[in-house]
Amino acid sequence: MDTRTPAELWNERYTEPFASYGTEPNDYLREVADRIPAGPVLCLAEGEGRNAVYLASRGHSVTAVDLSEVGLANARKLAARQGVTLDTVVADLTTYDFGDTHWAGIISIWAHMPSAARPALHAACARALRPGGVFVLEAYTPRHLDRPGVGGPPVADALPTPAELRRALPGLRLEHCREVDREINEGKYHHGPSTTVQVLAFKPPAGAAGQDSRDDRR
Ligand SMILES: C[S@@+](CC[C@H](N)C(=O)[O-])C[C@H]1O[C@@H](n2cnc3c(N)ncnc32)[C@H](O)[C@@H]1O
């Protein structure tokens, strides 16, 4: 039986710097990065910092949270290499204080958490965005379990469905919440044909009525 804690397990994975998920940002984040307004950004479960560094290089002040201190140490090295700085916080997302109406963007790329933890986590994200702020998520879905060995936790409980996420972000306007089949190439743990959910959601500007444009239900 594996007796390592999750932090020990992830720390071990990151002892080979940048081999796991690489140094390039996630494709979907790159696609929607222009939609994130100026201001502070919070990157959840950010590992070795490739997405955080990308957003810092676009001018955001970025806080990266992860339970792996080794991952975040690598993130700071990647930031230094690319001439930017990050605020890094070693914390468990189930107890982290996201704050209130603060962030211009919250980024959740492969932040796979147990189903029991997700409702509170996503409600905290919605609360913590400032008016006009953007929530960006990409995660593997349960359908991805049909593609063993190409990435993501092999456990259905850790994989959100689009239907769950459409209900999970109180007060945000969903621009899209879509399940996609796409090729992923992000280092040794994420590669090959994959099935993911991609979310782009906005907190309405102050005074605007929340309006949901969910145009892509499946
Ligand atoms: C698949 S990696 C993704 C890393 C990064 N987001 C990326 O795209 O390169 C998942 C990350 O989630 C972190 N993680 C897992 N459970 C966590 C928790 N409860 N709180 C904070 N981080 C967690 C792990 O340490 C790991 O770095």
pLDDT digits (tens, 9 = 90+) for 186-212: 988 888 899 999 999 999 998 775 445
The average confidence (pLDDT) of the chain is 93
51 lines ligand 1 (CB under 6 A): yes
Q: Which of 8, 68, 188, 194 to mutate to test the pocket of ligand 1 (most atoms within 8 A of CB)?
A: 68
- Could you report how far apart the first and last alpha carbons of the chain are, in Å? 39
Q: Rg of the Cα trace of the chain?
A: 16
pLDDT in tens, 93-139: 999 999 999 999 999 999 999 999 999 999 999 999 999 999 999 99
| Distance separating alpha carbons of residues 213 and 133, to the nearest angstrom | 16
The answer to whether the beta carbons of residues 32 and 41 sit under 8 Å apart is: no
In the DSSP assignment, the letter for residue 18 is T
Relative to the CA of 113, which ligand 1 atom is closest?
Answer: 16
| Distance separating alpha carbons of residues 141 and 151, to the nearest angstrom | 11
Q: Which of 50, 67, 188 to mutate to test the pocket of ligand 1 (most atoms within 8 A of CB)?
A: 67
Q: Would you state the pLDDT for residue 214? A: 47
Element (H, E) at 51: helix 50-57
Percent of the chain with pLDDT over 90: 83
Measured in angstroms, how far is the CA atom of residue 206 from the centroid of ligand 1? 32
Going by their DSSP bridges, the two strands 41-44 and 103-109 should be labelled as parallel
The answer to whether the beta carbons of residues 71 and 11 sit under 8 Å apart is: yes
Phi first, then psi, for residue 19 (nearest 5°) are -75, -30
The answer to whether the beta carbons of residues 216 and 177 sit under 8 Å apart is: yes
Residue 121: closest CA among 45, 67, 62, 55: 45
Measured in angstroms, how far is the CA atom of residue 176 from the centroid of ligand 1? 23
74 lines ligand 1 (CB under 6 A): no
The answer to whether the beta carbons of residues 33 and 41 sit under 8 Å apart is: no
HSE-CB at 198 with a 13 A cutoff on CA atoms is 17
Measured in angstroms, how far is the CA atom of residue 173 from the centroid of ligand 1? 26
The answer to whether the beta carbons of residues 21 and 186 sit under 8 Å apart is: yes
Helix (H, G, I), strand (E, B) or coil at 124: helix
| Distance separating alpha carbons of residues 149 and 125, to the nearest angstrom | 30
Nearest CA, atom 13, ligand 1: 45
92 lines ligand 1 (CB under 6 A): yes
pLDDT in tens, 5-57: 999 999 999 999 999 999 999 999 999 999 999 999 999 999 999 999 999 99
Query: Sorting pLDDT into bands at 50, 70 and 90, what band is 216?
Result: very low
Among all chains, which residue has been given the structure tokens 């456990």? 155
The answer to whether the beta carbons of residues 165 and 177 sit under 8 Å apart is: yes
The encoded tokens of residue 55 equal 């957003």
Among all chains, which residue has been given the structure tokens 């940048």? 18
The encoded tokens of residue 47 equal 């590992």
